[in-house]
Amino acid sequence: MRACAAAQLHLANTEPRPLNGHMHVESQMHRRIFWCAYHLDRLVSAAFDLPVSIPDTAIDAKIYANVDDKDLVQVAFATPPGTKLKGSSRFTEVSPALHIIQIRRIQSEILNYTLNCGFAAQFAAQSDWRNWILSELKAWKSQVHHYTEPGSKGYTSSRWFAIIYHCALLMLYRPTKDNVLGPAGDWSVQASTQACLAFRKSQMDRQVALPWLALLFQFQSGITLLYCFWATPENYRTPNFESSDIWDALRACSNTFAIMADHWPMAECLRDVFELLARDIPLVGRLNRDTPRISPQAVIQIQSSMPSVRSIVINRSVLRMIEEMITEDFPGADNEPPQVVLAEQSQVQYTNGSAINEISHPSSAPLPSEMPFFSDNWQNLYDGGVNLQEFGNETPLFPGLFDI
């Protein structure tokens, strides 16, 4: 990403003027190089919860056209000099990548808040900015079926896009003891469950490789799911905590870590920590437990693995959740939940019919800095190609994959 910045690929005014076909090809290649680097940069930042290399406020490069690689030269030379190269309105081999770049932009917005130095004081307790970004995620989700490859079970499938979507939700609603009794807990239970199930299904179909970053996202999902049960007394749990999918998700996570550990010995510590926590954190029946926290034996074993886990995971939110679970008592049923959290809850429906919290689209959201992607321009995803607004607001939600 730094090399792209040094070459000024992040700036629109450094592109060659479209005087002929050669210039069109060069311009499109500049864009493809930059946005591929952007995608990888935001992916790594999301996995490790680290700042991005180049802030979005410094980027005004245009997105590349929705044109197949094999057709790019032909389209470029067929474009009149001085005019913009227009992408196709049909599905192409780059359509999935273009839609994934859009959610990387949204994830970048999330990091812009959560990694802000003033996050705890200015944004942690506010719902407006989360509601705003959630509306962007829902808009992205509603268009997924247009940009995935029919019949695919791999990286261009709707299932893989569902994994990315749920991981973005976990970034947006990272649970803490202060917010887990509100929307953060409900969203996190649902998102982590579906992320674990979808990834395991892709793994079973042998359609995805064994990417290290995917393992880290699965670890985040599994730990988040366990943390929500650890931090939420039974009398405060919503119907989402009772889904039968949760048991399947924990088994899926366990199987995923076992398989990954067979390939990568470095992943053994992640497998061991997850198994120990899953064994000691009750999904039901906490009120009948004699001990107020997880067993001392489990704590000793987890603490012995933590140096390796810290060096691999890095993500501070995930490490915090583990530390709380092994050093603190289960939050009691008599604990008084923060009033600001309870005030945020109201009834609406998940795609599977269970209760969640109502989303209100704010007229404006408080921004830590001016974000160029908050304008309507973000919906014009394809340069001269498909405009997401063409599909209107009546397109169906992501079919099936969000309530596996």
- pLDDT above 80 for 390: no
Mean pLDDT of 123-144: 94
- pLDDT above 90 for 385: no
Whether 170 and 220 have beta carbons less than 8 Å apart is answered as yes
Residue 307 confidence (pLDDT) = 98
Is 377 inside a domain boundary?
no
Comparison of pLDDT for 372 and 297, the residue scoring more: 297
Rounded Cα distance, 238 and 182, in Å: 10
Question: Do 199 and 325 fall into the same domain?
Answer: yes
Question: Do 61 and 176 fall into the same domain?
Answer: no
Question: Do 15 and 103 fall into the same domain?
Answer: no
Domain end point (choices 47, 71, 88): 88
- pLDDT above 90 for 367: no
Is 394 inside a domain boundary?
no
Structure confidence by residue, pLDDT tens digits, 267-313:
999 999 999 999 999 887 665 567 789 999 999 999 999 999 999 99
Mean pLDDT of 362-381: 40
- pLDDT above 50 for 50: yes
Mean pLDDT of 237-266: 94
Buried b (16+ CB within 10 A) or exposed e, 69-89: eeebeebbeebeeeeebebbe
Q: Provide the domain limits for residue 109.
A: 95-357
Whether 395 and 142 have beta carbons less than 8 Å apart is answered as yes
Rounded Cα distance, 171 and 101, in Å: 16
State the pTM of this model: 0.84
Question: Do 117 and 70 fall into the same domain?
Answer: no
Rounded Cα distance, 362 and 131, in Å: 7
Domain end point (choices 38, 64, 88): 88
Question: Do 135 and 71 fall into the same domain?
Answer: no
Residue 334 confidence (pLDDT) = 58
Domain end point (choices 357, 381, 398): 357
How many structural domains comprise the chain? 2
Name the pLDDT band for 358 (thresholds 50, 70, 90).
Answer: very low
Structure confidence by residue, pLDDT tens digits, 51-110:
999 999 999 999 999 999 999 999 999 999 989 999 999 999 999 999 999 999 999 999
